[in-house]
Amino acid sequence: MLKTFSKGGVHPPENKLSAIQTIEQLALPKTVSIPISQHIGAPATPVVKKNDLVKAGQLIAKSSGFVSANIHSSVSGKVIKIDSVVDSSGYKKQSIIIEVEGDEWFEDIDRTPELKKEINLSSEEIIKKVGESGIVGLGGATFPTQVKLSVPRGMKAEILIINGVECEPYLTSDHRLMLEKADELLVGTQILMKALKVTQAVIGIENNKPDAIEHLTNLTKQYQGISVQALKVKYPQGGEKQLIKAITGREVPSGGLPIAVGAVVHNVGTAFAVYEAVQKNKPLFERVVTVTGKSVKKPSNFMVRIGTPVTELIEAAGGLPADTGKVISGGPMMGHALSTLDTPVTKGTSGILILPEGESRRGKIQDCIRCAKCVSVCPMGLEPYLLMTVTELQNYERTENERVMDCIECGSCSYICPSNRPLLDYIRLGKTEVGKRIRTRKA
């Protein structure tokens, strides 16, 4: 019997169309626009001006607080302007726009492909290096990694969990990374283990990726303390709290952080980025992005420079299909529909999903039939129908008491609802309103 989390969950059609496509390097675009806010926390402060010449890997915006991240240029060329550009959040954000000239990298970066196994840095040095390299959680949440590595005083990390679940349908970027960059990933895991001072690391992978499980299991024999755990396919297993429950059986308390149960979770993409930063001196300025969809001519996995417009990726995957209904940044469950295709790829873009018109449209909203399917699939044990109702009635006190802040916004409730009710839409509204209340109470 395979391990999985206990409460709720759904199993949408997997549709991993691009699983067999090897990672391709995407050609450099003509211009890139790099938003200064690609992470959770304070936006970075630009340190370049118009007409400055930059190299790939050069710092262009500096972290502006504890929860913030450095941003590096992904190309070499000239800064043409600093302007606001619509990013995947759908809002205009300050971005540094660079015209590409050649492909010159910053001198310190080691561009040789050799695997470097020995870790020379100490725990503190690793955390500092990770912070300097602007690494954020690449699973999609984009939380600055160095913050997660700095264990709060009085707490102790016992186990490192590497998230290779990729439970979102369609997406295959993590899957390909585990197959093609397995050694780098495992060294990255060891670096993270050293930074956290833990002796045990588990890589959680869902059972629909048997090749990755086999490949990594064979390789982990050479790496001490790392093991691979196959998991039953169930969404949202990639959620931090769900993955901890599935692997360790421990439950993160309501409102608490994973460190409360001694666990730290990092994505496989993050582990790879940490390897490159620590061993090769390469800051985070490119990532693997899946471009996929049923009507897409050539579903692919690309290694993309941050700031590349989404149009370029779609063009490389065979162009925008005629029946396009929505273009989504991320997966179908938690992704965000784009309002314009000029949106740049950011650190959190794990995939570009193109849904055909028929599939993308929302169904007609009908009355709640009290079937309680949303209750049974909620992985956090909440009552989505109730949260929606009390939010609609603007009874935010009740919304808070019904633990709306525990919602991880996985969308299982909206997915399963036979009446097509916009449950998550309202729950998000409830979260925003309750969040405001909590902040004013604290202030």
Partner 1 sequence: MNDIIIYTIITVGAIGLVAAVILFFVAKKFYVEEDPRIDQIEDALPSANCGGCGYPGCRNFAEACVKADSLDDLFCPVGGNDVMKDVAKIIGIEAVEKQAQIAVIRCSGSFEYRPKTNNYDGAANCTIAANLYSGDTGCQYGCLGLGECVDACTFDAMYMDEKTGLPVVIQDKCTGCGDCVRACPKDIIELRNKGKKDRRIFVSCINEDKGGVAKKYCSVACIGCSKCFKECNYDAITIKNFLAYIDYNKCVLCRKCVAVCPTDAIHEINFPPRKKKPVNTKPTTKVEVKENTDLINIAKKNQNNNKS
Query: By the criterion CB under 8 A, which residues form the site for partner 1?
Result: 86, 89-92, 311, 319-324, 327, 336, 339-342, 361-362, 365, 422, 425-426, 428-429, 432
Joined tokens for residue 334: 């938690």
| Residue 7, φ and ψ in degrees, nearest 5 | -95, 130
160 forms bridges with which residues in the sheet? Answer: 201, 264
Strands of the sheet with 45-46, listed across from one edge: 45-46, 59-62, 71-72
Strands of the sheet with 77-86, listed across from one edge: 31-35, 92-100, 77-86, 53-54
Nearest approach, Cβ of residue 386 and partner 1 (Å): 17
E-strand ranges in 268-375 read 286-292, 300-305, 324-329, 336-337, 351-356
Nearest approach, Cβ of residue 333 and partner 1 (Å): 15
**With respect to partner 1, which residue has the nearer C-beta, 278 or 413?**
413
Nearest approach, Cβ of residue 331 and partner 1 (Å): 16
**With respect to partner 1, which residue has the nearer C-beta, 14 or 312?**
312
Instruction: Please name the residues in contact with 355: beta carbons below 8 A apart, sequence gap of 6 or more.
Output: 293, 294, 324, 325, 326, 327, 328, 332
**With respect to partner 1, which residue has the nearer C-beta, 251 or 425?**
425
Rg of the chain over all Cα atoms, to the nearest angstrom: 21
Nearest approach, Cβ of residue 236 and partner 1 (Å): 20
**With respect to partner 1, which residue has the nearer C-beta, 12 or 356?**
356
Task: State the Cα–Cα distance between residues 157 and 260, nearest whole angstrom.
Answer: 9
Nearest approach, Cβ of residue 14 and partner 1 (Å): 25
**With respect to partner 1, which residue has the nearer C-beta, 269 or 293?**
293
**With respect to partner 1, which residue has the nearer C-beta, 262 or 422?**
422
Nearest approach, Cβ of residue 338 and partner 1 (Å): 8
* DSSP string for residues in 80-127: EEEEEEE-TTSSEEEEEEEEE-S-PBPTT------------S-HHHHH
**With respect to partner 1, which residue has the nearer C-beta, 25 or 84?**
84
**What does DSSP say about strands 59-62 and 45-46: parallel, antiparallel, or unpaired?**
antiparallel
Joined tokens for residue 231: 């998991």
Q: Give residue 357's identity as a one-letter amino acid code.
A: E
**With respect to partner 1, which residue has the nearer C-beta, 210 or 319?**
319
Nearest approach, Cβ of residue 322 and partner 1 (Å): 4
